[in-house]
Structure 1
Amino acid sequence: MIATKLAFSSLRHRPTGFVASFVAMFFGTTILMTFASLLDTRATADPETAKTLLIMASVVGGWGLVIVLFATLSTLSLLTRQRAPEMALLKSAGATPSQIGRMIVGEAAVVAVLAAATAVVPSVFAGRWLVTLLGETGRIPAGLEARFGLIAVSMGTGITLFAALVAATIAARQVTRRGTTDAIRDAGIDTRPTGRLRMIAAGIVLASGLGCGVLTMTVFTGTEPALMAVGGQGAILAAIGFALLSPALLGPIAAALAAPLRRAGVSGQLTAAHLRVRGRQLAGVLVPIILFTGIATGTLYMQAIENSAGTAPATIANSIETLNYVVVGMIALFAAVMLVNTVVAALIGRRREFGQQRLIGSTPAQVLRLVGTEGTVLVAVGVLFGSLSAVVTVVPYSVARTGSPAPDETIGVYLAVVAITVVLTLGSHVGAAAKTMRTPAIQAGTRG
């Protein structure tokens, strides 16, 4: 009962965290319900059409599921870690670790249910649009009636709720197992090494991505229907693997950049210090950058290579191209929303820190320069590892389809993806920081 009251009270008094969690789950649930609705539609289709819809829902929806689950876990973990001092104060006031854990899990459950309920209406229209598109591209009979029913709602709600509960449970365990005194003393500082299980999972996922690349180059001849599916999985798996490694990657990167950043002035010195002591929190921002850059670049270049090869009949090629652009568009849009959402949530959570900096003499312009420097480092690191993820798909697919590891396609596609990533990252960094500047320094520095 106490945990339930604390959960609802926390949601009322932490609107930023609530909105960030809601946005992540809402967009994730919408994607899941949209593709799951194909399973509702197949109930009235002929056997061949039903098979096509099942494959589409399983393959495309399956990879969307992996990305949505991972992004939701990352966002909720970041938001819970930001509240470590609050959890420590609750423990010092007499709350037990189990009560705090139930409060965090209860909050996540409430947000997940609200997000799933809100996602139903847009998912209905998105599902209809997807079925119409499949009909227009010849993948299924034109005019097939789209259905949206129990399968879509139950899968979307169930998976979102499951992801939220798992993320909240893991995050709560990380927060509550620390001693009260240590948590209060180390508020905002987290230099613990990356967990062994996370490192093992990252290694397995990265190896799987590289395996997809090797299979693409060595097993397929370049004409099999499964080539694009296997090749595309390489970039997705590699991006997730690098994202899992991001907390461990920031340590060596911070050490390598320490000297150059110090020469950049006060903002550079503070950025170097933050990379060292805030590695876990800043790594949360890297996740959507890596996912967006890797998946968008890998899939777009793979389709460009396919277009240049031109071995498939025109109608089939156009159909595949349209569907690929729809899929990459939906996933890239989700990653872009997550990027902005994560950055805003991370920076709004540092309102107190920025207020204290202003109280000791920093001007708003200096705080913004600090945030801009941090954002520049993070976007550079994120683009680097996102690009490496894309290589796992682009090079093997180019070898399989053209015999050359370097595709002939223009570099303009890659530069466009990078430009969008930079604009989204730096724009959300500076915009969120500017919003925190509107709060008076005394109020922000004392209340957070």
Structure 2
Amino acid sequence: MLRIAWSTLRTRSLSFAGTFVALMLGAALMAALGQVLASSVSSPDRAPQRYAAAPVVVAPDERLTVRSPYGAVSDAPLAEPRGLAPSLVELLPGAVVDRIFPARLDGGPAAVGRPWSAARTAPQRLSEGRAPARDDEIVVTGGARVGQRVRVVTAAGVQVYRVVGVAASVPAQSTVFFSDERAARLSPRIDALAVWRPVAEVRAALGAAATSGTAASPSTAVASGTAATPNTAATPGTAASPDLAQPGMPAVSSQVLVLTGQDRALLDPTRESDDQARNNTNTIVGIAAGFAGFIAIFVVSSTFAFAVGQRQREFALLRTIGATTGQVSRMVYGEALLIALAASALGALLGPLGAQPIMTWLTSLGMAPTWLTPSTSSIPSYVAFATGVLVAVLGVAVAAWRAARVRPAEALRAAAVEPKAMTTGRWIAGGGLLATALISMTVNAVSDPDGATNNKTFMPIVMLLIAAVGLLAPVFVRPVTALLAAPLGRLRGAGALVVAGWAGASARRTAAVAAPVLVTVALAATLLGAMAMTDATKSAMQTAPVRADYLVLPTGASGLDRQLVERLRTVPGADVTTATSTSLYTLEGEGSQLIERPAEAVNPAALTTALSVPVTAGSLADLRDDTIAVSPTWELSLGQRVTLWRADGSPATLTVIALLAPRSTTDSYITPAHALSTPPSIAYVKLHPGTSTTDVQQALQRATDGHNAHTITKAAWTATTLDRRTSASRLGLLVVLGIMLSYTVIALINTLLMAAPDRAGEHAALRMLGAAKPQVLRYVMAEALLVVAVGVILAAVATGLGLLGLYAALAQLSGPVAVDVPWQPVAGVIGLCGVLAVVTAVLPASRIKGVAMPRT
């Protein structure tokens, strides 16, 4: 049977060319994506930047480590730095004291402030001018020239400084250097000590101080960390820090880290964004690989199912001359394996060549870090080869089963009449997948509407719906084609009747050719529509509680300075309420897991003026420094006392005085006393009745002038929030869609090329009956466009079902949401399918001669 399979592939090379290309492309794509994933995982972190010239850096461990009463140890990164004890400076003579705090030129790029002595740690040398010697002098890395007087915004407010020098900048972060004395007044917290001494001496000094307890402070304890494992407990021979806890609370331990080598990069400004970029790469590659596997199975299964339908008579003849069902099945599997082995091997070899272009593309879109080192591992190629073979075996399973069931008596009948479009197995498979998708959507809508907004939950449902509609497609072909062809019946000539008659008489073939269009359009429309609906829901949930007329927002992430907040509170005719985003930490899972929870620090007296916060129990009027309002996710009851830690790791015990409504936009509310040194992130402005909006708006403009902040109306803020969220979501989704559509385009071209030989006899018959070649070509074009239209309608069914289920879930989160499908990219996808279908169908038909005899 392998010899027959090989002969079949040779004689039907055109039919299986698309399958070969699809498997090769699939293996190549898998290998390329695997290579990108390997590069992301194996690439070393970016080399140290901020402290590249300092051999040793002493810094606080910015992780909260908690030991529960049951002995479990858990940790989490702190949201706010806690700093080093000032006594450490005396232990390390000659160390450079570094302080890092928000400081930005008015209208300039995002930047931080640092003392000038810390410039040598990178180093950031002067390119012109001199070092700052007075309190009103600064050195900048950009945004101003030497001799220029500029306004600088810090957490305290705005002050005018004279630029006396320009220095080189650390990548991804501008810096404003102050004199050491001025920097110490602006930010008393010590963030790091850069030391030019042997690391052994530094550890010995810190260890001795920790043993004697002379360097300990209420908020920071001293211990020497290891450069290799900076986030672990103190190494043997060093002194662990004393516990920091209130009576009855779990023990909290902290330590000072001694960083050398690559570990100095832990303190770089790009550390968090680098990790996020790496995670983005892994997420996009994982989603694209999952969809690529799904589409590859779809392509192979549809191709071989179509091929089996074309070869019905061939299989019947084999059965007639004595071939068993097992032999026929093994022949089909042999064909698939021969194609898969060759295509997967070639794809696995070529795939790594595409890794760098994909990485470059993702980097240009900001979806991958620029410093990734291409991996040289061969494992992705081996995995891609094995995946290609497995995909072929899985994709051909149904086709092989169908081929084996062909009876010898069908040898003649199959040549004239297409077999039954819907078999029992196809009904069961299609109905089962559809029922599974509908049940999953119902469960999500009823029990977990929040989960519906997660792509990991929604995307598998999309796959189930597309597969179900594809299997059930022959049921809809005849009514859909009749509906589409009805307007054409009014035209002169028999062309419209012939086109509609062909499509309706060969429902299975029409469904097979329309399947790639279904996948292509349904994926684009469903995923883009779901993204738009989900983003609109999240935006509505975020903006709906706001009662303020105006909002004052910082330009950047540095927050609103104290001077600006004081000026805002003096605006006549308006109530101003600030909110500060911070974090709280709680122990959960019987004290085994430390969880970081977002929190909003607000003035309780003005909270209800700016926001409409629904509560299910208690009252926000009782919010004080020793109380807290929590969402249902805390699983606490009214009056219960909760042990927690604030953003800098300091402990607190608060009493629950209010339970927020389910799906609250904020996880908890606390007073500003727990926000520590974090500046407000937003200011809500509510006008008094009868106040002139023009006067208030002008007053707000004057107040924010020079403070790197701006005023925006609630309506504009709502629109901006939605646009910003949509832009970020659409970018990642378009990357995934772009990778997937390359697959479905191959499937479309392949299916149309396979269908072309079957139509050659019909086209020749039309020529013999007197049809001119242009008439036949127009007929072929009409057929291709009709099939595309059928695929689009089937895609609309799958899209409608998917978005309807999503709507039912999202409506419970924010009320009715508009079903919004971005039609421009979807129309582009449909147009591409139409062009490809016409070109692929017309080229073979243009070679048909009028003297040819119809095929039998």
Band of TM-score, shorter chain: 0.7 to 0.9
What residue identity is the alignment partner of 2:737?
Answer: V
Pairing partner for 2:795 from 373, 386, 393? 386
Q: Is the 8 A contact 1:301 1:394 kept in 2?
A: yes
Change (3 A) 1:53 1:262: closer
Aligned to 1:23: 21
Change (3 A) 1:206 1:334: same
Q: Is the 8 A contact 1:297 1:390 kept in 2?
A: yes
Change (3 A) 1:111 1:444: farther
Change (3 A) 1:236 1:170: closer
Change (3 A) 1:89 1:208: closer
Deviation, 1:57, is: 4.5
What residue identity is the alignment partner of 2:837?
Answer: T
**Normalization by structure 2: what TM-score?**
0.45
Aligned to 1:335: 744
Change (3 A) 1:409 1:84: closer
| Within-5 A mapping of 1:188-337 | 189-210=417-438, 227-253=454-480, 265-303=493-531, 309=539, 311=721, 320-337=729-746
Pairing partner for 2:760 from 351, 370, 373? 351
Deviation, 1:217, is: 6.1
Aligned to 1:428: 840
Between the aligned partners of 2:327 and 2:840, the Cα distance in structure 1 is 35
| Greater CA drift, 156-165 or 15-24 | 156-165
Aligned to 2:831: 419
Deviation, 1:279, is: 1.5
Change (3 A) 1:262 1:187: farther
1 or 2, which has the higher strand percentage? Answer: 2
Q: Is the 8 A contact 2:28 2:352 kept in 1?
A: no
Between the aligned partners of 2:453 and 2:382, the Cα distance in structure 1 is 30
Change (3 A) 1:402 1:189: farther
Q: Could you say what the CA RMSD is over the residues aligned between the two structures, in angstroms?
A: 3.8
Summarize deviations over 1:333-381 as a string: whole Å, max 9, x none. 2212211221122123432343344345544344334433333332222
Pairing partner for 2:30 from 29, 32, 45? 32
Between the aligned partners of 1:149 and 1:443, the Cα distance in structure 2 is 55
2:293 matched to 1:65?
A: yes
Pairing partner for 1:87 from 312, 315, 322? 315
Between the aligned partners of 1:106 and 1:174, the Cα distance in structure 2 is 15
Q: Is the 8 A contact 1:34 1:127 kept in 2?
A: yes
Aligned to 1:113: 341
Aligned to 1:44: 42
2:276 matched to 1:74?
A: no
Deviation, 1:74, is: 0.5
Change (3 A) 1:408 1:267: closer
Summarize deviations over 1:240-290 as a string: whole Å, max 9, x none. 221121122224445667876766543333334433432112210111111
Between the aligned partners of 2:440 and 2:361, the Cα distance in structure 1 is 29
Q: Percent identity?
A: 25
Q: Is the 8 A contact 2:36 2:359 kept in 1?
A: yes
| Greater CA drift, 257-266 or 318-327 | 257-266
What residue identity is the alignment partner of 2:405?
Answer: R
| Within-5 A mapping of 1:57-206 | 57-93=285-321, 95-133=323-361, 141-147=369-375, 149-187=377-415, 189-206=417-434
Deviation, 1:69, is: 0.9
Between the aligned partners of 2:483 and 2:727, the Cα distance in structure 1 is 47
Change (3 A) 1:163 1:412: closer
Change (3 A) 1:335 1:89: same
Deviation, 1:204, is: 3.6
Summarize deviations over 1:161-202 as a string: whole Å, max 9, x none. 223234444324323422334232222632415123322332
Deviation, 1:134, is: 5.1
Q: Tell which structure's C-alpha radius of gyration is larger.
A: 2
Deviation, 1:9, is: 2.2
Change (3 A) 1:409 1:338: closer
Q: Secondary structure at the match of 2:14?
A: helix
Aligned to 1:4: 2
Q: Is the 8 A contact 2:316 2:411 kept in 1?
A: yes
Deviation, 1:118, is: 2.0
Between the aligned partners of 1:204 and 1:214, the Cα distance in structure 2 is 15
Between the aligned partners of 1:95 and 1:239, the Cα distance in structure 2 is 36
Change (3 A) 1:269 1:292: same
**Normalization by structure 1: what TM-score?**
0.81
What residue identity is the alignment partner of 1:421?
Answer: C
Q: Secondary structure at the match of 1:350?
A: helix
Q: Is the 8 A contact 1:89 1:184 kept in 2?
A: no
Using CA pairs under 8 Å that are at least 6 residues apart, name the structure with larger relative contact order, 1 or 2: 1
Q: Secondary structure at the match of 1:187?
A: coil
Change (3 A) 1:211 1:430: farther
| Total equivalences in the alignment | 440
What residue identity is the alignment partner of 1:7?
Answer: A
Q: Is the 8 A contact 1:189 1:277 kept in 2?
A: no
Q: Secondary structure at the match of 2:519?
A: helix
Deviation, 1:120, is: 2.5
